[in-house]
Structures are given as structure tokens and as C-alpha cells.
Amino acid sequence: MKILITGAAGFIGYHLANELMSKSNFLIGFDNLNSYYNKNLKLDRLKELDLKAKSSIYSWEFIKGDLIDTELLDKIFKNYNPEIVIHLAAQAGVRYSLENPKAYISSNIVGFNNILECCRKYPVKNLIYASSSSVYGGNRSVPFRENSNNDHPVSLYAATKKSNELMAHTYSHLYGIPSTGLRFFTVYGPWGRPDMAPMIFTKAILSGEPISIFNNGEMSRDFTYVEDIINCILKLINKPATKNESYDFKDQDSSSSWCPHQIFNLGNNNIVNLMDFIEILESELGKKAIKKFEPMQPGDVKETYADTSKIFKYIGFKPYTDIKDGIKKFTTWYKNYYLN
């Protein structure tokens, strides 16, 4: 099976490619290796993938390029003719969208449209794309269900992810592209992004620097271990979206459709208070954090909490990694990678 993974040098993309390389697949990785965070981490992820590919009987090819390069994307789809497209590439980060909004429009809107156009021109069996729990924005009714209101985003990043869902649905309706959107909830684990709390806090605690705790610590997240995310995506690869033949037009569900498009929450279905998370991290690192309490940041939300009953009903997916186990695995990797 030929599979194209965009954002292959990213956090989730790396773990997915690493797992798929053990199976009978022809993998094409695509990434622009931008400098949003330290490029060396991305390059090291690629080195790991290259090493695994050398010991594998299956094919792996990496192509450096940008989503706005329509010529290159067209060439990739034409030459490789991928059957499955897993689109993880995007300009990430809620707070950075306040500083550089153009990057989000370019990558997340224009770039995603270019992917959709290629899937239309060179029909694929399955398109899986990354959305985000950020789409729930100002909604305070938890846990978040896929059909919960998400019409009030509080960051441009969230708005672009909501737009991606609408764009994918339109292409599914017009061209029959089977597409599945995944709303990721605070994914963490080894090889994670340096701009996310686990990495920021770990680095600061170990170096004796203060950590900024926003909303005076009154925040909570549905932390989801990356291995759980990967296991879910693996199951979805062979189960593309289909039409909901019993779709109720009078009582519409925005996460389902009469066309082959669907949306799922991918979370741990377990809410963790930020202060409890820090306490677990302190315990694993054997060192107390210097805490600096600050007000809520623009574009941020107080809590996220995923209702995962829909994805469980669809493929039997249920996250199994406890936050303590996940943090232990993360800190073990962090020390090996950064301190050894």
C-alpha cells in the first residue's frame, strides 16, 4: 500500500511513519522542515526513520517541500500515486498564530486546499487529516462531543482547523473523496514538540528556571499519549469514511454527513488538572518546579476534555496510557536525548 504522510518529520508524523515502516507499505514522507521550532529535532527524527528504513524490507522516501508548492505536490501524486494520504503537516501552535497569522493562512488553508486538489485530481482511497481540539474554542460544555458547537474559535489556529473540516467536507461532497478529520487533544510523548507544556516545563525544571503557569493554574487538559493516537490512525487507514445513509437532515450532526466525510475526537477521555500534571512531572524528574503564576493568555482555553465514545463505537479505539505512565516514558526519552 502506498501511503503519503505530510508532516513526516513532525511529532505525530514521525511516530506514524516509524510504525508503518514495520508493515508492508511504501511510504512517502513530506515535510518543509521549517524553523518554527529547532530544526535539529526534526532532522534527528528523520535520521531515526532512515536508520529503520535501512533495516526494513519496505520502501521509505522522504521529500522536502512546502504545501504551497503546487508543482511539487502534483509531481508527487502523479509519480507515486498514493492510495492513502495522511495529512499532518500544518503550522502548529495557538500562541504563535497571534504573532504570525500569515503562516497559518499559507500552510493550513492554502496548503490544505492544495492537498485536496491533488486528492481530487489523483483519486485516493482514503484521506485522513489532522484537526484539533482547539476548534471547540469558547464552548464550555464538557466533555466535548464531535457534534458540540464549535462556531466560536478563539485563535486563528483554531479557525484554520475548523476551516479544514469544512473544506474537506466540501470536497467529499463534490468529488466523493473519503475523508476523516481527527481532532487531536494535547498529544504528548517522546520526540514531542518543544513548544508544548511537557517539553517547556521539563526543560525549565531541570535547568532551575521558573515555569509560567497561566490562568493561575486553573486549567486542565485531556493529555493524550502519542502511541494511543498512532494505534487509532492505524485502524482508520483501512476503514475510510463512508456515506451516512441514514443522515438526518432535520437534526443535523456536523461530525457526520450524507457524503463520505466524518470527524472524530482523539483524546484520552480523562481530564487532568494542570497543577496535578506538574506534580507528576516533578515526581518523575525528582525536582520541584519554580512556579510563576500568570493570567490567561489570549487565544487559550481553560480546559479540554474529549468524549471518545464515537471513535470507540466505530473502531473499538480506547486509549490505554495512564498520564503517569506516559509522563514516565516521556521524561525517560527526554533525559536520553537532551542530557546524554
Catalytic residue among 14, 96, 129, 157: 157
CB 325 within 8 A of CB 244: no
Query: Other CB atoms closer than 10 Å to residue 39's CB: what's the count?
Result: 12
Radius of gyration, CA atoms only, the chain:
19
Which of 128, 132, 238, 255 lies closest to 179 in space, CA to CA? 128
Element (H, E) at 132: strand 126-132
DSSP 93: -
**How many Å apart are CA 167 and CA 222, to the nearest integer?**
26
Residue 334 annotated as catalytic: no
Is beta strand 187-188 parallel, antiparallel or unpaired with respect to 84-87?
unpaired
Distance CA 249, CA 315 (A): 25
Please give the angle made by the CA atoms of 293, 297 and 91, to the nearest 5 degrees. 130
Phi–psi pair at 85, nearest 5 degrees: -120, 125
Give the three cell numbers for residue 86.
495522511
Task: Tell me if 235 sits within 8 A of 315, measured CB to CB.
Answer: yes
Q: DSSP characters for 136-187?
A: GTT---SSB-TTS-----SSHHHHHHHHHHHHHHHHHHHH---EEEEEE--E
Residue 29: Cβ-neighbour burial (10 angstroms; 0-12, 13-18, 19+): buried
Residues with a known catalytic role: 157
